Chain A
Amino acid sequence: MKDCTYFTRKEILRLFHRYRDLAPQLVPLDYTTGPDVRLPYELIGSMPELKDNPFRQRIAEVFSEDGEGNMTLDDFLDMFSVLSEMAPRDLKAYYAFRIYDFNNDDFICKSDLEKTLNRLTRNELTEDEVRMVCEKVIDEADLDNDGRLSLEDFQHMILRAPDFLR
């Protein structure tokens, strides 16, 4: 388990406790038998770290195995592992792509961009502005001119971004 994430054993145990704290009545303390427990999205999304994140639902969906935002302990650890600062940029870029790909079609298309933008700005831009920004983004980052961003485009762009931390 340690080698699958970027955490030490201690940190994993701590994360387990946090996971359990979300719903003490659902999660058993003893995990040796590997029970199939899932926490619903409402609980995951209410964590202080995700509470204010405009993409919390997407994050939960991407990392959960069923795609609905309901997470097992494994998914939970996985999420924290990828989001931790130890994870390499490649991996983060991949997951970031998944997060921004709202309709799961392996491309970021215009509707995805619009959704992203509206979440980022809380719908404060006018429609024209949104359209313009989306066109600009596609224009800038789309290397193969198919009108949408593939994972490759996305990585090409985002790995050069100064603010894309690890």
Chain B
Amino acid sequence: VGIDIDGEVESAEEDKKAKGKGAKKTAAGKRGKAVTSEDGEDEDEDDEPPRGRRAAKKKKAAQADEEDSDDDIPQRRCAGNRRRGKVRESGGDGENEKSGRKSKRGGNKKQKDKGKGKDKDNDKDSDKDEKKKKNSSGDDSKSDEEEESMSEGEMAKLMEEVEEKKKLIANIRNKPWRMKRRLKVLKEAQQFVDKFEGALGKGKGRKLYAYKVMMMKKWIKFQRDFENFRTSCIPWERKIKEVESHFGSSVASYFIFLRWMYGMNLVLFGLTFGLVVIPEVLMGLPYGSIPRKTVPRPEQATAMDYSVLTDFNGYCKYSVLFYGYYNNQRTIGFLKFRLPLSYLLVGIGSFGYSLMVVIRTMAKNADVGGGDGEDSEFTFAWKMFTSWDYLIGNAETADNKFASITTSFKESIVDEQENQKDENIHLRRFLRVLANFLITCTLGGSGYLIYFVVKRSQEFANMDNLSWYEKNEMEIIMSLLGLVGPMLFETIAELEEYHPRIALKWQLGRIFALFLGNLYTFLLALFDEVNSKLAEEDSIKNASIWFVKEYYANFSANNPNYTGTPPPLDPSDGIRGPCWETAVGLEFVKLTISDIQVTYLTILIGDFLRALIVRFLNYCWCWDLEAGWPSYGEFDISGNVLGLVFNQGMIWMGAFYAPGLVGINVLRLLSSMYYQCWAVMACNVPHERVFKASKSNNFYMGLLLLILFLSLLPVVYTIMTLPPSFDCGPFSGKAKMIDIVMETIDMDLPAFMGTILGYLANPGLIIAAVLLMVLAIYYLNSVSQAYQNANMELKKKMQMARDEDKNRRNNKDSTNQVMKDLEDLLPKNAQTSHAHPEKNAEKRHDQGGKSPKVKPGSAGNDVRLQKDVSLASANPNARGPVTRAPGPRGPGPLPGQPGAGRGQGPPPRR
């Protein structure tokens, strides 16, 4: 429930500041704070012993405080039992034996302070206090009998009494009485304390205490503000919460995933731009200085055209955005920045970083998912009683809260219905197997189709005069598959009737498999292109060398008078290699851009336009558009998640060939966050069955990891084996890209490092390391499995204990019946001896059950009492026959019987 209107208190304190602020606080944070605050206070008060007392008294008082038993006290007293009895009586009158003793000490201190304050300046107290004083006529009956001569024993007794009163005063605010009654009791107690406190010494540390309390309050407030600040620093938290409250956590999980992706891409962006692009721009050779940084002459006429630029040709192609622009100078600028090395390391490092982040997030999510009890025993009860945030003081927030509570209830209901479902298990199983069979067939068919089409397209590539269809066959087939496949899967998935959350996972996995075919064809086409370009390169390399030579020969032939070196060739002339890296990068950039366009247009047309039509044409249509066929779109979680994942794969693969791609992607994610948030709120309706997303969206992460791995392979392959282009990019002139590392090791590191690295690269060492890692993985895996088993076992035990507890409470009669049967077999004396405590316990149990009605104030204590009693009452039931049974050994089969009758094992004792 979080019953606290501390927002109110605060606002009262702060002269009613902005109201809605308090409402946004996250529950968790506050809880934590509250706990710490209380702990802190407790400690605080414990720290301060009653200082002002004389030493002897202090000792006694401490004893009385700490040991809850009265038995110790008389030993230290001159006058013994008589007074002790009295003290007990008076304690009983005070009605505060039951209230927890914990807060006693703190209360003491406070009251002491207060008492002291009153002694000194009575008039300082508020007028209300005075009014109270008038009301209560000081009829403290007990004080009369205490006014005797003050022997040491008297003092001790008095102290005891004062302590009791103080305790009462400290705890009075905990009692759910009406204010009037509280005031009256309080008045009496205060008067008593005032009267006798003076004789007993006073506390000294009042100021210190007040100071500490003040600091504590300030600290709590600061913590809360800080928490607010931190929450407000999380980007888009509010947007996502808004979406979540209307569409459920499943849709929100997509946006959370998007946000996470944005964060990761920002880091990649920082790496790439900070270490590669910006150094090149600042310190590298300027545009137009060398051929690779210049647009070739035949292209120059159209290089600035808009249509060319939007295809990332022309000036775009020869810019820092692409691989080809970078020079192969070992160091650039006055900083001697090793750009080629940095380029390679950033390329590999961004993969390393992504892997690390994905895996770390997965591990953390798994931790969180296991941590909070998904299947808690009180899901609904807690939802019902604790979901309202009592801090909400803003109509809009309240609306959102209502929506979110409703949604969360619906989610839980769906879960619950799913649990309760128990129909024909065989039919269900058969249908599921059938569905999977169908889907496997579909996937296999589409795989074959793709293979077939690719093969045909390779044949077509060698032929001339193709028709339009034959030229574009592959694209058409692929997009048709992408369109039909998901719909087909969705239809087949209806057969399975999984819980929507699980169904979503299946759907994601299947579409993922389908799209893998897409990826496969794309990569295949790309590698074909790369191979052809590599073949082309060799001939061009010779041609370009020959061309340069010819140029110089021509130059000297044409100008025989010209001595000295001839002017260099204009960078835009000359023959160039195809630069396959830039071509690949270009391909990826184009793909990303077209993907962005398609996604945004789909949202605009498929969702926005549809919503507009449905909304406004509904007035003049022959059937109800909103309820009938077109209706509003639902948010397509699986499609969007997969789109995001595949897009990220493209980025990972392409970023090495086109460093600018990361920047484009950051922009895309940023815009799509706002755009999709708007679109989903404006034009979509919630799913028919709102379901709760699993706490950890590890499934998304798993897909991402798979894609990351897949995109890692081709890039590493090119780095390790393919020769880079001879005249463009940071690695031109090397046999392989990885050679740049070797070169650095040889030239820049001391020689012994080279030898060490050489040893490290020894196959023997690597095999050993891999073996070790495999063993470690195996070990850790089995350990985690063992823990999991232990967890399950414990959970089961807890559930069993709870059920048993419940059963014991309501099945007392039935178990008693069994017991009675058993008792009949037992000798008489055994029966009576244990029937008695049982009856007793029953009686007490009844009392405990009723007491909340009679005296609600002490109910918290009664609960404990009753629990004890119920355990105690259960024990005779269970134990009785067993302990007695061995006694009358005479009747042979008897000892075995009670044990068999019990059958449940002893009740758990806590």
Residues of A within 8 A of B (CB): 1, 3-7, 9, 11-15, 18, 31-34, 48-49, 51-55, 65, 74-75, 77-78, 80-85, 87-88, 90-96, 100, 106, 113, 116-117, 120-122, 124-125, 129, 132-133, 136-137, 140-141, 143-145, 150-152, 154-158, 160-166
Contact = CB atoms under 8 A, between A and B. Distances in A.
B13 A11 contact: yes
Contact of A6 (B173, B180, B186, B381): B173
Interface in B17-47: 19, 27-28, 30-31, 34-35, 38
A94 B388 contact: no
A9 B852 contact: no
A155 B859 contact: yes
Interface of B: 1-9, 11-13, 19, 27-28, 30-31, 34-35, 38, 110-111, 114, 126-132, 135, 169-170, 172-174, 176, 178-180, 182-183, 186, 190, 377-382, 384-388, 390, 392-395, 397-398, 402, 405-406, 409-410, 412-413, 416, 805-806, 809-810, 849, 852-853, 856, 859-860, 862-863, 866
> What is the predominant secondary structure among interface residues of chain A facing chain B?
helix
Contacts of B398: 52-53
A90 B392 CA distance: 22
Contact of B388 (A7, A53, A82): A53
B388 A54 contact: yes
B378 A132 contact: no
B176 A4 contact: no
Contact of A5 (B30, B173, B378, B410): B173
Contacts of B2: 163-165
Given A52-B392, A125-B410, A82 B380 contact: no
Nearest to B417: A132
Give the residue among B7, B126, B392, B398 with the most A Cβ atoms within 10 A. B126
Contacts of B34: 85, 165-166
Contacts of A34: 131, 135
Contacts of B853: 106
Contacts of B395: 51-52
A165 B378 contact: no
A90 B860 contact: yes
B544 to A, nearest CB: 71
Given A14-B13, A91-B174, A94-B859, A125 B131 contact: no
Contacts of A48: 19, 393
A155 B381 CA distance: 12
11 contacts: A3-B169, A7-B9, A9-B126, A52-B393, A100-B385, A120-B387, A121-B405, A137-B380, A145-B810, A155-B863, A158-B381
A144 B848 CA distance: 13
A40 B35 CA distance: 36
A48 to B, nearest CB: 5
B859 A49 contact: no
Given A1-B128, A158-B1, 19 more contacts: A1-B183, A3-B111, A3-B172, A34-B131, A48-B393, A49-B393, A51-B395, A53-B392, A54-B402, A55-B388, A65-B178, A85-B30, A93-B860, A95-B176, A129-B410, A137-B384, A155-B859, A157-B378, A166-B34
> What is the predominant secondary structure among interface residues of chain B facing chain A?
helix
A122 B131 contact: no
Nearest to A4: B182
Contacts of B190: 3
Contacts, number: 237
A129 B27 contact: no
B207 to A, nearest CB: 15
A120 B131 CA distance: 42
A94 B176 contact: yes
B79 to A, nearest CB: 32
B100 to A, nearest CB: 9
A31 B127 contact: yes
B4 A18 contact: no
A11 B11 CA distance: 10
A149 to B, nearest CB: 8
Contacts of A162: 28, 31, 382
A125 B388 CA distance: 17
Contacts of B852: 106, 150-152
Contact of B409 (A121, A160, A165): A121
A111 to B, nearest CB: 14
Contacts of B862: 152
Contacts of A78: 178-179
A48 B810 CA distance: 45
A145 B381 contact: no
A4 B409 CA distance: 38
Given A94-B856, A163-B2, A75 B27 contact: no
B173 A83 contact: no
A81 B173 contact: yes
B13 A4 contact: no
A54 B862 CA distance: 31
B97 to A, nearest CB: 16
Contacts of B111: 3
B168 to A, nearest CB: 10
A87 B388 CA distance: 18
Give the residue among B30, B128, B416 with the most A Cβ atoms within 10 A. B128
A95 B805 CA distance: 27
B374 to A, nearest CB: 13
Nearest to B132: A1
Contacts of B28: 162
B165 to A, nearest CB: 11
Give the residue among B28, B379, B393 with the most A Cβ atoms within 10 A. B393
Contacts of B8: 49, 80, 83-84
A74 B179 contact: yes
B600 to A, nearest CB: 33
